[in-house]
Amino acid sequence: AVLEDVLVGPAPGGRRLTAFAPVTTGRSLAVCLHQALHATREAIDYRRATGGMDAFDTAVAVGVSHELTEALVALVRGTEGARIGVAWAPAAGVPEGCAATAEPVEFSAGDLTVLREAGLRYQRAEPSVTVRLTGAVVRMHRSGPRGEGMVRLRVLAGADIGHVRIALGEEDYRIAGHAHLVGLPVRVRGRLQSRGGFRRLTEAGELAPVQVDEAERERLMKALQENLEFFGEACGPECAD
């Protein structure tokens, strides 16, 4: 949701991509990203100098994560490298704890091995936790008109993540499809896990529709209308009841 107000566009020549984040909602995110990128760079250098991965463990405190290492791998892979810099709006001043002019952080193809190693380290260290999520159904898929299927939720409450994938039995899959058709999110309990960078909810149960205010329901219904054909195919015949 924070990224909805971020404007992204290429610079002339196509070699630079700039993201403009509003001060009111995006500054804290920019500060966190700035600190996490520098911590990642330092952890990579430490790994090369000492052979140890300890710096990646301490870097978690400033925002370094499995998702960040995977994003950097995707950014750098197939290129000679990438430079990421942060500049502060003059009218808003410099955030506390940040330098007025910060050097861009550089990552090269030679960093990919360490970044992948760190990503696997984070993935293995991250325990699954029991959560109760509320989310809007944004994608559904199953191989046939009946049986279990896979659902993707846009998480509204219950965990600090954007989306989650859930394998549901036939009855819960039907409930999720009907809830989406009438513009309602669902609430579900399960164990939140991270596998290969994708959040999954396992051992899912107690799935039920959730009442929301009219404005949110209208927004969800608009999303349904934009993807009606897809959901008709994904839900199967019973979703049209």
pLDDT in tens, 37-49: 999 999 999 999 9
DSSP 169: -
Confidence of residue 230 (pLDDT cuts 50, 70, 90): very low
Same domain for 52 and 30, yes or no, is yes
Pairing verdict, β 149-157 and 105-108: unpaired
Say what the pTM is: 0.56
Q: How far is CA 210 from CA 29, 50, 137, 157, in A?
A: 30, 52, 12, 12
| pLDDT > 80? residue 237 | no
Tell me which residue of 156, 155, 173 sits closest to 164, measured CA to CA. Answer: 155
Same domain for 110 and 10, yes or no, is yes
Last residue of a domain, one of 107, 125, 143: 125
Confidence of residue 235 (pLDDT cuts 50, 70, 90): very low
Tell the burial category of 216 from Cβ atoms under 10 Å away from its Cβ (0-12, 13-18, 19+). Answer: middle
Q: What is the pLDDT of residue 208?
A: 92
Last residue of a domain, one of 74, 92, 125: 125
Last residue of a domain, one of 125, 141, 164: 125
Q: 226: which 2 tokens?
A: 């934009």
Range of the domain at 38: 2-125
Same domain for 116 and 187, yes or no, is no
- CA 110, CA 56: separation in Å to the nearest integer? 17
Same domain for 39 and 97, yes or no, is yes
Same domain for 154 and 234, yes or no, is yes
**Which domain CATH number covers 140?**
2.40.50.140
What is the chain's percent helix, strand, coil content, to nearest 5? 45, 25, 30
Domain count along the chain: 2
